[in-house]
Structure 1
């Protein structure tokens, strides 16, 4: 146990060690140039963690390992639950059926496409494929983190998925505004906002796109963010369905019904409950802002701890398969997402 009498001191030291790295990541992310690129402290945290893992790892007391693991597992679940304070059901209702349908269609099709292509076309393992698909289809690095405990995936597989989110999400963040500014997209402000929110990986990247549009309206920015947060809240039912699927898959592959447990990610259920509580409006906005800042720091700690368990030697054998898989999902999000958005807006 992490906090047993023999492990308590090492666990506390390990958590403090991770927190120091996360604080550094937060300060770097707050630099104006870094902020303008839409790079979140979560991404910086994993980069710092990976650098540590492949340079200074052997100089750290082994007893601190329990604290690093605690940060990457337990603190992660706690942070995902409180991620619900970023969302209200009223916000989701504001974009109406169009925003909801685009979010639902793009999430489900992208996850299925990424999982299938990763395993069947590009011969990746199940966990790396599903983690990459979760990151592209829902909300980037936070979705990868939330999916990892359901799959019980290894740290380096999660790091691969996060890397793909960063690469293609960053490309989208610069490509979408450039194409819109030259008149490539035949969309009005609300349509383009729905399209951006329904197809770009990270929340920070979604926020950055309207800010890069010439004379962008508030309607475009609001639609983009609200549709994106609709995708975020859908991570909870997605993880519950994934847990049920994994349980039935285990039974089908020869596990006894009595020994195969139904995997329900309760932190995802609590996440919905927290979003519902936030929707009541009983917590003052300034308190919600503080909670969200603390939650971002906890997620940064989890991501940093994840990076600390990522050794480059474990990547051998993957080759270019993750890039091919993520690239295919990116093409689907950008091209398929455009036509689906146009169709949904026309129909609903």
Structure 2
């Protein structure tokens, strides 16, 4: 396929991504933590369902959902440092790991009992357990899930993550008289809320100390995305081999790039201007991947998915609040 075949689709996704970035920076949307990723997928879905897309867009949109997505995930690692892990210590790492493992395991168990297919269970579980829409998009190519299932998963985790963002500060007002301080609230928020932006807003609603603790805890949770993807790829390959299938090994090489980006950011070798430029590029690429996903999602597909995916996302939201809260309480400092 000629390279020019990709231009129109990539350009459409990048334009939507740039528009989403601009809208998300507007004061009201920024104050309510409306993520550019959410705006990008919603914009793509609206455009795709208002009129048929040109056939020439499809190769470029596929490139955005695959290659540009992986590049965006790698550059996302430049927001993290190994020093953040050392600063938080083993207790917070254990909390994050237990929340991730229990939420993902519960997603697989509950999802099957709700009658959901395995791919949907994995995508919704990953989004709820790690870092929302970005985790869904990172998991999709590892298990070779369809764009429709990924779109449904994103919708569920974004919806309930937004509800949690508004609920947590109110809960702090109830729990503070019982001994919950800002640092503890930050760890609770970072270890159980879905999106990084939502964690930041929920933390700042309580105080700067809460915001700092919340974001650091969330960043550590995001770091767990790389080993999660590697383990998931290994399990998926073993399962395929056990079923007599000769599927190629789906090694998520971008997970190694993600780790390398964290190490590079920790080294301090990157000039500040280059570092900021790469972060901006990474956010744009992730938004473009989300826009491409939206452009490949039809409302009819969401309707066909029914109530079960949202029910699973809702149940996992309840577990993150109650079960995650219990884990935090048991391992409190």
After TM superposition, the score normalised by the length of structure 2 is 0.96
Deviant stretches of 4+, over 6 Å: none
CA displacement, residues 111-130 of structure 1 (integer Å, 9 cap, x when unaligned): 111122112x2111111111
Task: Please name the residue that 1:319 is paired with.
Answer: 306
Correspondent of 2:232 among 239, 242, 249: 242
TM-superposed deviation, 1:289? 2.2
The CA distance in 2 between the partners of 1:310 and 1:250, in whole Å, is: 27
Which one has a larger percent helix, Structure 1 or Structure 2? Answer: 2
CA displacement, residues 174-227 of structure 1 (integer Å, 9 cap, x when unaligned): 0000121244664122111111000000000000012112xx2x3322111011
After TM superposition, the score normalised by the length of structure 1 is 0.92
Q: Say what the alpha-carbon RMSD is for the aligned residues.
A: 1.4
Give the alignment of 1:125-136 within 5 angstroms: 125-136=117-128
Correspondent of 2:164 among 146, 164, 172: 172
Structure 2 residue 47 is the aligned partner of structure 1 residue 52: yes
Task: Please name the residue that 1:329 is paired with.
Answer: 316
CA displacement, residues 89-112 of structure 1 (integer Å, 9 cap, x when unaligned): 101211111211111000111011
Q: Is the CA contact 1:124–1:318 (under 8 Å) kept in the aligned structure 2?
A: no
TM-superposed deviation, 1:307? 0.5
Which runs of 5 or more residues in structure 2 are unaligned?
A: none
Give the alignment of 1:144-293 within 5 angstroms: 144-183=136-175, 186-213=179-206, 216=207, 218-255=208-245, 259-293=246-280
Task: Please name the residue that 1:84 is paired with.
Answer: 77
The CA distance in 2 between the partners of 1:188 and 1:236, in whole Å, is: 31
TM-superposed deviation, 1:73? 1.0
CA displacement, residues 269-291 of structure 1 (integer Å, 9 cap, x when unaligned): 11111111111111133432221
Which runs of 5 or more residues in structure 1 are unaligned?
A: none
The CA distance in 1 between the partners of 2:9 and 2:249, in whole Å, is: 32
The CA distance in 1 between the partners of 2:179 and 2:296, in whole Å, is: 45
Q: Is the CA contact 2:131–2:194 (under 8 Å) kept in the aligned structure 1?
A: yes
Aligned length: 332
The CA distance in 2 between the partners of 1:345 and 1:200, in whole Å, is: 18
CA displacement, residues 241-271 of structure 1 (integer Å, 9 cap, x when unaligned): 000111111122232xxx3433221111111
Q: Is the CA contact 1:169–1:205 (under 8 Å) kept in the aligned structure 2?
A: yes
- Secondary structure (helix, strand or coil) at the match of 2:50 reads coil
Correspondent of 1:124 among 116, 121, 125: 116
